[in-house]
Amino acid sequence: MASAHEQFRDLAWKCGLAATHQRQIIYEAVTATPGHHSVEAVFAEVRGRTPSISLATVYKNLRLFVEHGLLREVSPHSSMLLVEGNLEPHHHLICTRCKAVQDLDAADFVNFKKLARRAPRGFDLSRPLVEVFGLCRRCSAKT
Amino acid sequence: MASAHEQFRDLAWKCGLAATHQRQIIYEAVTATPGHHSVEAVFAEVRGRTPSISLATVYKNLRLFVEHGLLREVSPHSSMLLVEGNLEPHHHLICTRCKAVQDLDAADFVNFKKLARRAPRGFDLSRPLVEVFGLCRRCSAKT
DNA sequence: TCTTGGATTATAATAATTCTCGTTTAAGAA
DNA sequence: TTCTTAAACGAGAATTATTATAATCCAAGA
Ligand SMILES: [Mn+2]
Ligand SMILES: [Mn+2]
Ligand SMILES: [Zn+2]
Ligand SMILES: [Zn+2]
């Protein structure tokens, strides 16, 4: 069984990326726990292990990992960058008010055939992401 | 037939908002043409009529109109504020790469019963908004 | 070990948005 | 119509999230 360290070096090598210490711990900070991670949260985490790391490095490498498919950007339209390590196709349920994001693992509520018919010619829906907006329980309780 | 001017005064009165000149022209700038409007575009438009108006006033009032339901925020998660005057329930198709937004008027591709079953208890989906992400023709042509 | 190009850092810059606060104005009361 | 006053306005500063720059550092192959 390969260590997390070796696993990352292998992944990085496959993408032609240098396996630096900073990249190692940034990648681990995201993938060690499931769910959605903000840049600030990742930064706080990695700074614990390597205090000299800079926020720009975290931004740059999270974006790099997303580009190379090692991580996934949670919402491509979001006002703040969120990433996750779960690369399985899944969708999101988002609160309009507080912007909290949670996973919708089943996709059976979308008819992708009909959807494709509604999209304009040439629109690529081969890897679709669906985001559904509503009000989370907490926010809808606040009237 | 009421003039646009009178229509707005009536709407503002219903919401308990003062019908100021600035609000009038901001509202008209959005509702005069269909589609999605950025803050900058609205600002450019209203500045033509009232050069002394400030960007802050445009932001403040667009948000106020959205709060009161006079306008709709296109994507509640977007990195840039976009508003539209079309209050009919409809959904959006968004390009992951260039962030272009277009309307999806039919909602027949979503099974809202099944969706409700997938959402956690208490999540309010009474006025759901669905955003589907893919690649527009232009962006998917670029590899 | 040595070389070299990519990676990292501090810092500056930028873009979008919000805040602050003194001034002006809309709209109801007199 | 004039007065009063809370609400709205405008200018610019401040804030927040993010990206660009440029000098230094280091990972990895020769
Ligand atoms: Mn997710
Ligand atoms: Mn629309
Ligand atoms: Zn919420
Ligand atoms: Zn596009």
Q: Is the pLDDT of residue A143 over 70?
A: no
A21 within a domain of the structure (yes/no): yes
Window A:96-135, CB contacts with B under 8 Å = 96, 99, 102, 104, 106, 108-112, 114-115, 118-135
Q: Is the pLDDT of residue B2 over 80?
A: no
Longest dimension (CA), chain B: 52
DSSP letter at B130?
E
Q: Which residue, of A67, A82, A101, is where some domain finishes?
A: A67
Domain co-membership, A18 together with A50: yes
B14 within a domain of the structure (yes/no): yes
> Could you list which residues have their CB under 5 Å from ion ligand 1?
A 84, 103
pLDDT at B16: 83
pLDDT at B1: 46
- pTM attached to this predicted model: 0.91
Among residues B92, B94, B120, B124, the alpha carbon closest in space to that of B106 is found at B92
Q: Looking at beta carbons, which pairs linking A88-92 to residues 24 or more positions away fall under 8 Å? A: A89/A127, A91/A129, A91/A130, A91/A131, A91/A132, A92/A129, A92/A130, A92/A131, A92/A132
- In Å, how far is A115's CA from the nearest CA of chain B? 5
pLDDT at B142: 80
Q: What is the Cα–Cα distance from B123 to B125, expressed in whole angstroms?
A: 6
B50 within a domain of the structure (yes/no): yes
Domain co-membership, A59 together with A95: no
Domain co-membership, B8 together with B49: yes
A74 within a domain of the structure (yes/no): no
Q: What is the CATH number of the domain that holds B115?
A: 3.30.1490.190
Q: Is the pLDDT of residue A1 over 50?
A: no
Domain co-membership, B47 together with B96: no
Strand C bases, protein C-beta under 7 A:
6-12, 16-20, 25-27
A44 within a domain of the structure (yes/no): yes
B128 within a domain of the structure (yes/no): yes
**Tens digit of pLDDT for each residue in B88-112?**
999 999 999 999 999 999 999 999 9
A77 within a domain of the structure (yes/no): no
Minimum-distance ligand to the CA of A37?
A: 1
pLDDT at B14: 84
Domain co-membership, B61 together with B16: yes
What is the token pair recorded at B69? 């339901």
**Tens digit of pLDDT for each residue in B9-60?**
888 888 888 888 999 999 999 999 999 999 999 999 999 888 889 999 999 9
CA of B117 to the centre of ligand 4 (A): 32
Domain boundaries, position A129: 91-142
Q: Is the pLDDT of residue B3 over 80?
A: no
What angle, 0 to 180 degrees and rounded to 10, lies between the N-to-C axes of helices A21-31 and A55-67? 70
B110 within a domain of the structure (yes/no): yes
Domain co-membership, B58 together with B109: no
pLDDT at B143: 66
3-state DSSP assignment of residue B124: strand
* Nearest nucleic acid nucleotide to B62, CA to C1' distance: C17
- In Å, how far is B64's CA from the nearest CA of chain A? 15
Domain count, chain A: 2
What mean pLDDT is predicted for residues A3-29?
91
Nearest residue, CB atoms, B77 vs list A79, A104, A129: A79
Q: What is the CATH number of the domain that holds A35?
A: 1.10.10.10
Domain co-membership, A63 together with A116: no
Query: Residue A85: CB partners within 8 Å, gap ≥ 6?
Result: A30, A31, A34, A71, A72
DSSP per-residue letters across B52-117: T--HHHHHHHHHHHHHTTSSEES-TTBSS-EEES--S--EEEEETTT--EEEE---TTB-HHHHHH
Q: Which residue, of B34, B67, B100, is where some domain finishes?
A: B67
pLDDT at B19: 87
As a rounded value in angstroms, the CA-to-C1' distance for A33 and C9 is 28
Domain co-membership, A47 together with A100: no
DSSP per-residue letters across A36-69: -EEHHHHHHHHHHH-TT--HHHHHHHHHHHHHTT
End-to-end CA distance of chain A: 52
Domain co-membership, B51 together with B97: no
